[in-house]
Amino acid sequence: MSLPSQSYPARRPLIGDPPETGFVIALCLVYLLTGLFGRDPWKGDDALNIGVALGFAREGDG
Protein backbone atom coordinates (compact mmCIF):
# COMPACT_ATOMS: atom_id res chain seq x y z
CA MET A 1 0.00 0.00 0.00
CA SER A 2 1.69 3.20 -1.12
CA LEU A 3 0.73 6.69 -0.07
CA PRO A 4 -0.10 9.25 -2.70
CA SER A 5 2.71 11.72 -3.19
CA GLN A 6 1.90 15.34 -2.54
CA SER A 7 3.69 18.19 -4.20
CA TYR A 8 3.96 21.43 -2.32
CA PRO A 9 4.42 24.83 -3.98
CA ALA A 10 7.91 26.29 -3.80
CA ARG A 11 8.33 28.59 -0.81
CA ARG A 12 10.21 31.85 -0.91
CA PRO A 13 12.88 32.20 1.79
CA LEU A 14 12.15 34.73 4.55
CA ILE A 15 15.51 36.46 4.19
CA GLY A 16 17.14 36.76 0.79
CA ASP A 17 20.79 36.21 0.05
CA PRO A 18 22.07 38.91 0.54
CA PRO A 19 19.40 40.39 2.83
CA GLU A 20 17.53 43.44 1.62
CA THR A 21 18.74 46.83 2.84
CA GLY A 22 15.47 47.63 4.61
CA PHE A 23 15.69 44.43 6.63
CA VAL A 24 19.27 45.17 7.73
CA ILE A 25 18.40 48.75 8.72
CA ALA A 26 15.35 47.57 10.69
CA LEU A 27 17.44 44.95 12.47
CA CYS A 28 20.07 47.57 13.40
CA LEU A 29 17.41 49.97 14.67
CA VAL A 30 15.84 47.30 16.86
CA TYR A 31 19.28 46.40 18.24
CA LEU A 32 20.15 50.04 19.01
CA LEU A 33 16.79 51.05 20.46
CA THR A 34 16.56 48.06 22.79
CA GLY A 35 20.02 48.90 24.09
CA LEU A 36 19.15 52.55 24.74
CA PHE A 37 15.92 52.19 26.67
CA GLY A 38 14.94 50.13 29.66
CA ARG A 39 18.31 49.88 31.36
CA ASP A 40 20.75 51.98 33.35
CA PRO A 41 23.42 53.71 31.27
CA TRP A 42 26.21 52.81 33.72
CA LYS A 43 26.68 49.79 35.91
CA GLY A 44 27.81 50.55 39.46
CA ASP A 45 31.30 49.13 38.97
CA ASP A 46 31.82 51.10 35.76
CA ALA A 47 31.43 54.43 37.57
CA LEU A 48 33.82 53.29 40.32
CA ASN A 49 36.48 52.18 37.83
CA ILE A 50 36.17 55.40 35.83
CA GLY A 51 36.74 57.36 39.06
CA VAL A 52 39.90 55.38 39.82
CA ALA A 53 41.21 55.88 36.28
CA LEU A 54 40.44 59.61 36.46
CA GLY A 55 42.34 59.85 39.75
CA PHE A 56 45.37 58.16 38.17
CA ALA A 57 45.20 60.49 35.18
CA ARG A 58 45.01 63.63 37.32
CA GLU A 59 47.51 62.76 40.07
CA GLY A 60 49.67 60.03 38.56
CA ASP A 61 50.04 56.57 40.00
CA GLY A 62 52.96 57.13 42.24
Q: One digit per residue, pLDDT tens: the chain, 62 residues? A: 666 777 878 887 777 778 788 888 999 998 888 877 767 666 677 778 888 899 889 987 65
Rounded distance between C-alpha atoms, residue 29 and residue 22, angstroms? 11
Measured from the Cβ of residue 38, the count of other Cβ atoms closer than 10 Å reads 7
Q: What confidence score (pLDDT) does residue 62 get?
A: 55
Q: What confidence score (pLDDT) does residue 8 get?
A: 78
Q: Residue 51's Cα: distance from chain center in Å? A: 28
Q: What confidence score (pLDDT) does residue 36 get?
A: 79
Which residues contact residue 23 at a Cβ distance below 8 angstroms, ignoring those fewer than 6 apart? 15
CB hemisphere CA count around 62 (13 angstroms): 0
Inter-residue contact 29 to 21 (CB < 8 Å): no
